[in-house]
Amino acid sequence: MTHEFTEKDWNDYLDGRAEAGTEARFERHLSACSECADLRRRLRLAEGQLRLQSGYWQHTPVLADAQIEAAWQRVVTRLRADELAPERSASIPERLRFLEDLLMLLCGTRTATNALRAAAKGLSTDAPEQLSRDHWPQFLTNLAAITTIMCGKTGAQLVWESGKL
């Protein structure tokens, strides 16, 4: 299968401005091509990150905690509505990759890697990618707790919801 889309196609598609025919082509291709489906996911995460950095904060320099939480909730809701999360049947490596992307969006690159490692600590292995399905629920509980401390409870809730196998 060839990756038949131009940068303009992608931009239009992600903005919801693609023509019906192009959109249908995208949907067909993305359901068959994991590489492009992955690209879509990453582009949407990047888009969410941009929105966070440029949008809510600049216009209101001093926000109360409740306002930050509400702003977060809006971003999170929009990301979820965009069907950001991969299929429920995803494997542990896929789920980890998604959680890492999500944590990068929520808390930054270094924190994301550290959080995943910290959450795996004390389980069967310190390497998150070697976790067994038996250990996954405990790992996810740990990760949600860590995320709560680092990025607040809305982020933790999203980690919790989207991390379930």
Task: Enumerate binding residues for Zn ion (CB under 5 A).
Answer: 3, 33, 35-36
CB 164 within 8 A of CB 141: no
Q: Please, which residue, 2 or 58, has the CB nearer to Zn ion?
A: 2
d(CA 158, CA 16): 24
Q: Please, which residue, 83 or 134, has the CB nearer to Zn ion?
A: 83
Which amino acid appears at position 130 of this protein?
Q
CB of 12 to Zn ion, least distance (A): 16
CB of 34 to Zn ion, least distance (A): 8
Q: Please, which residue, 13 or 72, has the CB nearer to Zn ion?
A: 13
Q: Please, which residue, 33 or 92, has the CB nearer to Zn ion?
A: 33
CB of 30 to Zn ion, least distance (A): 7
In order, the DSSP letters of 92-147 are HHHHHHHHHHHHHHHH-HHHHHHHHHHHHTTSS-S-GGG--TTTHHHHHHHHHHHH
Query: How many of the other CB atoms lie within 10 Å of CB of 146?
Result: 20
CB of 3 to Zn ion, least distance (A): 4
